[in-house]
Amino acid sequence: MSQVQALASTVNLVRRYFPAGRPNLSPWQDDPQTRQWIEPESLDLSFHFPGWSSRLQCSSLLMQLQFSQSSLDQEAPRLLGVLIRGMTYEGERWRLLTVGDWLPQGSHLPKPAHSAELQQICRDLFKLFTSEVPLNELP
Count of Cβ atoms closer than 10 Å to residue 33 Cβ? 7
Distance CA 86, CA 106 (A): 9
Domain spans, the chain: 3-129
Comparison of pLDDT for 42 and 66, the residue scoring more: 66
Task: Decide if 60 contacts 27 (C-beta within 8 A).
Answer: no
pLDDT per position as a tens digit, 53-88: 888 999 999 999 888 765 445 566 788 899 999 999
| Those residues with Cβ within 8 angstroms of residue 13's Cβ, 6 or more apart along the chain or in another chain | 121, 124, 125, 128
Please tell me the predicted confidence (pLDDT) of residue 139: 40
User: How sure is the predictor about 6, in pLDDT bands with cuts at 50, 70 and 90?
Assistant: confident
Note if the pTM is more than 0.85: no
Please tell me the predicted confidence (pLDDT) of residue 76: 63
- Indicate if the pLDDT at residue 2 is higher than 90: no
pLDDT per position as a tens digit, 93-130: 999 999 889 999 999 999 999 999 999 999 999 988 87
Question: Using N-to-C axis directions, what is the helix angle for 112-129 and 3-17, rounded to 10°?
Answer: 150
In this structure, which amino acid lies at residue 112?
P
Please tell me the predicted confidence (pLDDT) of residue 69: 65
pLDDT per position as a tens digit, 7-40: 788 899 999 999 999 998 775 555 565 455 556 5
Task: Decide if 128 contacts 9 (C-beta within 8 A).
Answer: yes
